[in-house]
Structure 1
Amino acid sequence: MKTDPHFDKENLQELLRSYENLRLGKSSAFIEEEAFEQIIDYFDDREEMGKALEAATIAMEHFPFCATLMFKKADLLLATRKYRQALEILEKAELLDANDINLYILKTDAYLALDQQEKAVALLEAAIGLFEGEEKVELLFELADVYDDYEEFEKVFDCLKMILEEDPTNEEALYKICFWTDFTGRNEESIRLHMRIIDEQPYSELAWFNLATAYQGLKLYEKAIDAYEYALVIDEKFDYAYRNMGDAYIRLRKYKEAIDALEKVLELSKPEEVIYEAIGHCYDRLKNYGQARIHYRKAAHMNPEDSKLFYKIACTYYNEGEYNSAIKQLDVSLRIQRNQQEANLLMGECKLQLGMYKEALLYFSYVVKLRPKRAAGWEALIRCLYEGEYYDEARQQISAALEATDGKPVFYYYLSAVLLAERKPKEALLCLEKALVAAPRLFKKMLALNPALLQNSQVAEMVARHKRKRSGKSGQ
């Protein structure tokens, strides 16, 4: 509550002197209702709650049937955590003026403070029918806050929807319903609501934006982009529209368009790590590794503790065959966070590419230790052992991998390749047969291990036979 800015200091001081004399019994001067309100507000603004309450009590002695003074005293009692006393006064005030919105807001606050959510909800739901326009909207916001506090999130959405049906231009509701649409997943409902709003208010950029985010929530990215475009025609500096549009373009794998949208975000708002990282990702996908690195570095400069950014920089170097440069970035990444599966795997791959088998094995073994049930670490470890010609150790690790991963077929392909390298063709072909029956498409993994294996006539014949069997079955 604020004092009247038009009530000058001189008059206020005179009023306070009169009140002080009245309080001390030195004067029987008459003070009007509005003057008492100003005195109460004066002490309230100065956070002198005791004096404000005393003034409210004296005021009510002089004007026992003034609901406004009762509301002021109840508000002060709530502020000083005297919730039951506040309710008692509000019950009296209701007999005098049941049509004042403050009655319902203050009673709601009291019920919530006493952890009586059901009473607060029932009160507000009944009150909403008594009011129209701005007051109805205010009560709906109150009810939405109650539902939010007690985690009835679907009903929060319902309240915001009712507000927008009452007042389609309400900015607070338009901002909030965007979040709650995403949170509750009620995208179809949001689309219908915002299309009705746009029919009435075609130049509401927030309505277009919310329509776009609802489409995006349904993965209708093309429609989302169209709606964002309308929002940007209305407000060309709407940075969040550019941000979300960038994400939609990324989902559609339209990386050049995504970069254009995200660069507009950087022009219109304070630079953010997440935007630089997203632009870096787009350049990465376009295989423009130099530009990807530049943007990942900008993101890393803003957040030097994010290990994944240094990992992403390392990936760009790896893709260019710059393994030593990649290793330097991975060293930084792993110093920040040692237990990263992806970074340890990539470090192992870099070492492997440089022929540093033993060092590579250390990293791949660590990945296996981190995630023993995931195949990626085992595959890398076994590939490294195969390329380093550690066949005996490779067989032992394949056996461990089959046990840890519940017999994934890829490891039978690897075992077949190892047995062929050890010149054990019969055992190798039995393993290959088993693998081809279980997962014929994974033969490419064996071929990636050693493309020359297809030159082995027995292997080529077995693969061809299985292809014929499969094509025969599909033709039936």
Structure 2
Amino acid sequence: MEFSPNDNQNLPLSKFESMLKTNHVLFFDSEEFENIIHHYLNQGKIALAKKAIKLGLDQHPTSINLKLFKVEVYVFEDKLLEADSLINELHVLDPTNEEIYIQKANLLSKQDKHQKAIDVLKKALELTDDVIDIFSLIGMEYLFLDEYEEAKVYFMKCLEADLQDYASLYNVIYCFEFLNQNEDAISYLNVFLDKNPYCEVAWHQLGKQYMVLKKYEKALAAYEFAIISDDTFVGAYIEKGKVLEKLKRYNDAIESYSITLKLDEPTSFALLRIGSCYEKLDNDELAVQYYYKTVHEDPLLDKGWIAITKFYNKNKNYQKALYYINKALNIDSENVAYWKLYSQINLRLNLYLEAEQGFKKTLELGNYELSTWLSICDVLIRLGDPKAAILSLEEASEFYPENAEIEFRMAGLCFFINENQKGTFHLKNGLKYNEDYAFILEELFPKVANKVLVKNLLKQNL
């Protein structure tokens, strides 16, 4: 039992705390001690719970329920041997007490012995009329074992006993999703809604399943029913907005997101999506206003800064784009996409050294796309460092052997530094792999392309 303020049930708690301050030992019956301990455990006040358990057992040394609380604390503190020893003693004293089995299962679960925990919980089912909690515990143990079909069965049993058990409903749908059984999830939710037609949670989950299957009109209908069931359900308005965006109904999406701003504290997600919708409607003024509202609401939301970056990049205001991409990188410096965008913006500003550093950072982060290697090479060419460009291409060729784009660049660089034999070798390779990329020589190395040797080689092979 949980104590509530302003009622008579909190009197034992006040009396107990007063006793702790004065060191005068007062008497409490065992049920009062149980309620006090339960209160402290729920509040996370383990030290006070332990004091209550000790005093309780001093006054009621034979109380099994108080000893079970002691087991619970032992498990919490990872004193598993002590917990196991005490639980075995209690089982001898009261072999038909289902709570003993539950605590034994909790202990086994803590030791990663989940199948044994399930076996013990199934024995507890035979001893109790209150089966819902045990069904839920069994379901959780099956989740630990990644046995989603079995877990699903037990969470469904919880819902058969209590249609309002939304935690179990979420767990059932989680199992369906993990098993990629979206159609089965839809069937289950429709049957559930026949019994409980105004369950906003079920409508919301139904909408999410339709979204996965890209059945956007059906998803929209489900979210609208969720809103009919609870017109203050912020999550339903958010999901409805996402569907409307998929349907390119941007004004309607803005309206749905805007409702959430009135129902609750503004969220950076809703503000960001409103800005994106306005941008798709070509209303740049309102788009950027909402992007700025997004980062004002949550300055640590890198997606907000990226939205502003892309906005200015699209509008060719590269100086501002560079300023804001740095904001995003300060929040998430391990994001490859951000470093790529950083490098591209620097290229637009002819800041080749910074662009090279950005592309190299993407390599450090494990992004070995061909375009990254080629970009580094092209930047080094512009920086007038052909030898560094050659080294970069040699690394790239280990990941992308027999690649024409690499070979034509290598050829151009070798001819540029007058290593004609190597240049001839790479040019012939490039022509062999894909002669269509021969234009690279004219684009990146116009002087090389005009050399007689190069022109003759091209004539021979083209």
TM range (shorter): 0.5 to 0.7
Q: For the pair shown, which has the larger CA radius of gyration, 1 or 2?
A: 1
Q: Aligned in 2, Cα 1:404/1:276: closer, same or farther, shift over 3 Å?
A: farther
2:400 aligned to 403, 406, 422, which one? 406
1:229 to 218, 224, 227: 224
| Of 310, 315, 319, the match for 2:310 | 315
User: Which residue, out of 34, 52, 55, partners 1:51?
Assistant: 55
Deviations 1:85-144 (A, max 9, x none): 4443344434xxx5xxxx223322134325464443223224446666xx2222212323
Moved more, 163-172 or 286-295: 286-295
- In structure 1, distance between residues paired with 2:414 and 2:181: 56
Which amino acid is the alignment partner of residue 90 of structure 2? I
Aligned mates of 1:393, 1:346 — CA distance in 2? 26
CA distance in 2, matches of 1:3, 1:126: 32
How far apart are the structure 2 equivalents of 1:194 and 1:175?
11
Q: Of residues 204, 213, 221 in structure 2, which corresponds to 1:209?
A: 204
The structure-2 alpha-carbon separation of the partners of 1:243 and 1:2, relative to structure 1 and needing over 3 Å to count, comes to closer
In 2: Cα distance, 1:430 partner to 1:303 partner: 56
Q: Which residue of 1 aligns with 2:264?
A: 269
CA–CA separation in structure 2 for the residues paired with 1:235 and 1:178: 20
Equivalent residue, structure 1, for 2:98: 104
Deviations 1:280-305 (Å, cap 9, x if unpaired)?
44445555544443333333334434
Q: Does 1:72 align with 2:53?
A: no
C-alpha distance in structure 2 between counterparts of 1:303 and 1:343, whole Å? 19
Distance in 2 between residues matched to 1:3 and 1:265, nearest whole Å: 34
Q: Measure, in 2, the Cα distance between the counterparts of 1:359 and 1:89.
A: 70
User: Matched residues in 2 for 1:228 and 1:281: separation?
Assistant: 21
- Which residue is 1:124 aligned to? 121
For 1:240, give the aligned amino acid: G
Post-superposition shift, 1:221? 3.5
1:271-310 correspondence runs (5 A): 271-286=266-281, 288-307=283-302, 309-310=304-305
Structure 1 regions of 5+ residues with no counterpart? 14-22, 24-34, 61-69, 451-461, 467-476
C-alpha separation in 2, matches of 1:262 and 1:395: 49
- Specify whether residues 365 and 87 from structure 1 end up closer, same or farther in structure 2 by C-alpha distance, changes over 3 A only: closer
Shift of 1:427: 10
2:404/2:430 contact within 8 Å kept: no
Change (3 A) 1:210 1:307: closer
Q: Residue type of the partner of 1:110? A: K
AA in 1 matched with 2:234: D
1:383/1:449 contact within 8 Å kept: no
**Does structure 1 residue 158 correspond to structure 2 residue 159?**
no
TM-score under structure 2 length normalisation: 0.68
Q: Distance in 2 between matches of 1:89 and 1:389?
A: 79
Q: State whether structure 2 residue 144 is matched by structure 1 residue 140.
A: no
- Which residue, 336, 341, 346 being the options, matches 1:346? 341
User: Contact (CA 8 Å) 2:142, 2:151: kept in 1 or not?
Assistant: yes
Cα distance, 1:128–1:221 mapped onto 2, change above 3 Å: farther
Deviations 1:188-225 (A, max 9, x none): 33222211111222222222122222233444443322
Identity rate of aligned residues, in percent? 21
Give the letter for the 2:344 counterpart: E
Quote how far apart the aligned CAs of 1:161 are. Answer: 1.6
State the one-letter code of the partner of 1:324: Q
For residues 391 and 75 of structure 1, do their structure 2 counterparts lie closer, same or farther at Cα, with a shift above 3 Å needed? closer
Q: Partners of 2:346 and 2:162 in 1: how far apart? A: 64
Pair 1:449–1:217, CA change in 2 (3 A) = farther
Partner letter of residue 244 of structure 1?
A: E
Distance 1:3 1:264 in 2: 37
How many angstroms apart in 1 are the aligned matches of 2:167 and 2:307? 39
CA distance in 2, matches of 1:325, 1:448: 33
Report the alpha carbon displacement of residue 322 of structure 1 after superposing the two structures with TM: 1.0
Distance 2:398 2:206 in 1: 48
Distance 1:240 1:359, change over 3 A: closer
- The code of the aligned residue for 2:71 comes to L
Alpha carbons 2:204, 2:222 under 8 Å: kept: yes
Matched residue, 1:200: 195
Contact residue 300 and residue 309 of structure 1 kept, 8 A:
yes
- Cα distance, 1:372 vs. partner? 7.0
Which amino acid counterpart does residue 112 of structure 1 have in structure 2? N
Q: Which runs of 5+ in 2 are unaligned?
A: 16-24, 40-47, 75-81, 445-457
Provide the aligned length of Structure 1 versus Structure 2.
408
Structure 2 distance, partners of 1:322, 1:180, is 48
